[in-house]
Structure 1
Amino acid sequence: MVPHLSAEAPSGVVAAAVRSALADLDAMAAELAARVTAAETELSGASAVSAYDRREAVTGRLGNFLLHLAGEVPLDLDALRALGRRRAEQGVSLIALLDAVRIGGQYAWEELTARIPPGDGEGAGVLLAEAPRLWSALSAVSGELRAGYADSLTASARGSREKRDELLDVLLGPPDVGLQATAAQSLGLPRYGRFQIAVVEHGQALPADWTLLGDTREVRSLWRFDRPVSLCLAEVAAVRHVRGLREILRPASGWRIGVSRCFRDVVQASAARRQALIALGTVSAGAPGVALYGEDPLATLVASAPDTAIEVAEELLHGVLILPETERDTLLSTLDGWFTAGGSTAEAARALFCHRNTVRYRLRRIEELTGLSVSDPRASAQLLMALHARLTR
């Protein structure tokens, strides 16, 4: 709990500006409420709070804030926390709530600045010197609203799949260490441990058996089910599982799964989800399986910028891609087989069930169509990158 901030004695210039603003509190509250409503509507497409509720909240909090700047009262942090709880229950996003604080702070500063007499450079300088105290007070306001918001999530989330999903969304959302740590606690997760995230592409039909782990004693998992991709956040307890989820997930036929690296701080879940999504992008649509982030550096780079990779691939392979489908696919599968065989023509021929000379002929054909030689390391790397982009798009 943040202690109540005691009132501090401001300069005479600031006190006079604040008293002038307080005399116009009703008009200021109306203007600020209108600005906050417009901002919330822009974020979500609609305002989640009634005009009366917002006007009352703005009047009360703005009045207390100005009185605090005048050195007359402490910030009412209890009221701020209660407001944070209420806005969470009303469905206002945390981003919109904190944006309202930013708008309010900017508006208060504009009004105080406007109340310094024109040409009073000394007074403007005194007000500027008081700015750190204003920003400190705004930080306290934001912190208490955030704490109240987190209180509401914690109180309503236990045992409800919908609420559990909401908490997971907070944990996997934009960085906010305090709120994410509270969400993790509400989900029964420790702040520090050994965690991994997997994203599972299973199509439109949700799995019939939602216990997708081979040995649930090894991990505690939380699932966020959706179509066509679901997510698993797991606390991996067994250190002997070097790759954790990769080794104990039991995917059904046709599924594609991407797994993040292990991470130690639960609030890093959002970054880990991005890793898992990139890993998913390295799994070929034609050969479903499980991939760990970073295990194939080239495929990871391609998947991290798929649009750019496809654009480059289509340019490099243009001569091949414009061929009739059968010829095109034959050449690409030969190139893939040759790379898989480590550049061995004989091994590629055995895997492709054709003669070595056939493989050589097809590789020469690719070289003619692309202008890239498979014997040139730089050109060969470009072909491999382009092929990865084609196979995983």
Structure 2
Amino acid sequence: MPQASRNACDPKRDHPHAATLRRLEKSAGRLAQNAITRMDAQLPWYRAMPPENRSWIGLVAQAGIAAFTEWFRHPESTQAISTDVFGTAPRELTRAISLRQTVEMVRTTFQVVESEIGTLAAPGDESVLREALLVYVREIAFATAQVYAQAAEARGAWDARLESLVVNAVLSGETDEGVLSRAAALGWTNPDRIVVLLGTAPNGDSELTVEAIRRAARHAKLQVLTGVFGDRLVVVAGGEGDPIRVAKALIAPFAAGPVVAGPVVGDLLSATRSAQAAAAGLKACAAWPDAPRPVLSDDLLPERAMAGDRYAREQLVEEIYSPLAEAGSALLETLSVYLEQASSLEGAARMLFVHPNTVRYRLRRVTDVTGWSPSDVRSAFTLRIALILGRLSEAGQTP
């Protein structure tokens, strides 16, 4: 090809700073190597990395210098800098090094370029090259932030799906070792006191609700796995304290209406029991309009039993009727007369032909055995339902 034709086809000859551009191209490899050498000398985290990751960082540094050279050739180009620079490294690199470390890597790389502007720029081009480098570094900073923001969004979306799967497994009773592994990937550290809370989810963006739960949990020093399922907000909470304290700490993001706390369990595999009790309690809350907020699922045992919850019926028989029967017939008889026929100690004493102090003593024993006080209206209602269910059970009828 004739010399004139070659010159016409050479875009560098038309570049206003062609000599500087040629020097940049010839020095790219040396600059990248110098940048890696400086990183090895100045950045302890770089020296501690596995060889594979150091190799990827070297490619990113090399790509950054090459991309700067290309950008200097065509400063009007709209090609994404993030594609030029970070496209050479795998997505996993954003997990291997932090945003702070990436900023240090970029700064070190372009400090090397800046330190050699005197030899890279053709005579008279020093200020042009320095200004171009400053503009490019600004663009690469934005590109770096974009790459990490996209990676964080991707991780956040994946974590949200993973968390939803874990909470759904707890609700459906499908917890297994795989669920424990997924929970561990979300940072769950297996607290030994776990309670499940159920209530109505507020209208609006469910992500905002979930984030509000997480903020409340951080403030209360609790671990949570949470999600919105239809109109229900579900929270699996782990930490110290009784269920009501935990529920009160997390209640603000719930919509108006009842919030039910299931019983405390010892691990995530057992959390289904707490979730099922809370779900049954939430369903039965309509029968107790004056229930406190939040309310324990065990405080709703009579309503749950009447709503058809088999576990609540069994619990009332096992925890109230059976212990009373084992403690002697006198307790059952006294409680029955007091609740169902008389309305006072004196009335029960007359019907039982005993002294009122004897009735008083036996009722205290009922409280000691069951944890429910016959003199309290709410507890008396629970005890009465337990008596009915216990008699049905003894008669061979499934309560």
More helix by share: 2
TM-score by length of 1: 0.38
Structure number, greater radius of gyration: 2
